[in-house]
Structure 1
């Protein structure tokens, strides 16, 4: 006789660990006003839709139970032509749901417009270039740049200008909010803020080729003093990001470790927007490192 042995206690624990290993804080754990607003939209929309889903499920179960074959009290009315109350119920509830969802979408799309500045002081300007397969972050007012690492001051708004040097990509920091596309020859605008210090995952949310899985970066939101220290350290090390070094950076590379440039040639971002789109683009800048 075959005796079935119970599974070891460690098997369920290992299975749970495997299932949860990829889980990390995301859009449901916002750390900024934009992500917080988007989180509220998700919750409100879910609540409104459940106002239909839950009653329908309850009614379905209730009808199945009441009109079961063993219930002698249930009467099947096969002949009827019109019910005003039923028509009102059938049309009014979905119409209200559409009105509520449309109102939320209309108001929120204006309140959370990516180009709308965030109130609360002067914003830090950052220029973003998506490459194959890495991210370039330029700080035009501070004269430094970083690859695959975005450092911002916590509590201060950040105003992004974004473009792509190659194919279309999508810039997304789930805990800060507002995914936005980067496209060659175009500039998109995004405003975000991290309300508290921390390290937050950033990624490309649009497939862009063989190096796409490694096209990720980390956003470090630092207190003001630590951010100033990082900027001072970046100015003391690394090469200068001029036209020649940019053409080197433009080459395909995967899983690039973060590093910084101690200076940036003026007008580089605008030159990338103007000349991007081909592998033989000649990026012309004024040659003055800031």
Structure 2
């Protein structure tokens, strides 16, 4: 009964654990997990025999073992040199090959192979929140990234303040966001669900609250969400962006139904607050014109 109780307690404690990169939801994270497993296996091929040999040598050449041969004039052994140098060289070659192939296959800016056109998302890191702009849908969100499952997502990323990093562990490929620069990233979620996104680079007092949720929906539900988002929320123009860019942490998700054209490019160029959405305005009364004398 005691063993059953302990097993049940362990199951309860581990049931809610997030396995992160060990529970990939897309092709990039799956490939990174495989690289991690392969690299660990290759390194264990040296570590385990070395640990065993250390114990074995210490036991065999102990003072009380009269069977151990003592060779005070021993200087060189070709077989030993071959093992000592050959195995590390092979290990470095294997690890280097894995890193070389993986760095090319998983290039963040390389589009993912798919028959489905990618979704475009523009990402801006702020103090201390995340802004996601959907240029084709004309909407934006804060601290909530909604994507269609099974569809590649092409990201353009920048920072409006300091350096930061965009990271969804279960999707893979952490990448930097930098002011006045754009980085590119291509990811995909193969299944539906809610996943945690975060910043992996310390950026000040509000850093602990700089997290967001990734909602992976079926494509038809994503289309419905995007259509509904256009009818709710305010307009993300220069004035509202200037308000949004003020430092704040643990910000609840926000949805904007309209976005100023070219907002992302203006943020990269450091002129975003000057933008405004085209809208109907009441014309100012004509100013008095002095009569000609």
TM-score, normalized by length of structure 2?
Answer: 0.89
| Cα shift readout 1:225-277 (whole Å, capped 9, x = no counterpart) | 111111122111110001111000010111100010000010000000001xx
CA contact (8 A) 2:147 2:217 kept: yes
Between the aligned partners of 1:282 and 1:230, the Cα distance in structure 2 is: 27
- Separation in structure 2 between the aligned mates of residue 282 and residue 242 of structure 1, nearest angstrom: 9
Contact kept in structure 2, 1:114 and 1:191, CA below 8 Å = yes
Cα distance in 2 between the residues matched to 1:141 and 1:237:
17
- Residue 157 of structure 1 is matched in structure 2 by 152
The answer on whether the counterparts of 1:32 and 1:195 sit within 8 Å (CA) in structure 2 is yes
Q: Give the count of matched residue pairs.
A: 272
Contact 1:27 1:177 in 2 (8 A): yes
Is the 1:267–1:286 Cα contact (8 Å) retained in structure 2?
A: no
Does residue 56 (structure 1) correspond to residue 50 (structure 2)? The answer is yes
The match for 1:89 among 68, 80, 83 is: 83
CA deviation after TM superposition for structure 1 residue 156, in Å:
0.1
The 3-state SS of whatever aligns with 2:62 is: coil
Map of 1:129 onto structure 2: 124
Q: 59, 68, 77: which is aligned to 1:74?
A: 68
Q: After superposition, what is the alpha-carbon deviation per residue over 1:40-93, rounded to whole angstroms, capped at 9, x for unaligned? A: 100000010001001101111111121122221112212112111111111110
Task: Judge conservation of contact 2:241–2:272 (CA < 8 Å) in 1.
Answer: no
Correspondence 1:112 to 2:106:
yes
**Structure 2 partner of 1:285:** 275
Matched residue SS, 1:163: strand
Residues 97 and 216 (structure 1 numbering): CA distance in 2 closer, same or farther, change over 3 Å?
same
The whole-number CA distance in structure 1 between the counterparts of 2:118 and 2:235 is 25
Shift in Å at residue 282 of structure 1? 5.5
- Tell me whether 1:148 sits opposite 2:143 in the alignment: yes
1:27 match: secondary structure: helix
Work out which of the residue numbers 31, 48, 64 in structure 2 matches 1:37: 31
Q: What TM-score comes out, normalization by structure 1 length?
A: 0.89
Unaligned stretches of 5+ in structure 2? 280-293
CA RMSD across the alignment: 1.9
| Residue pair 2:239, 2:276 contacting (<8 A) in 1 also | no
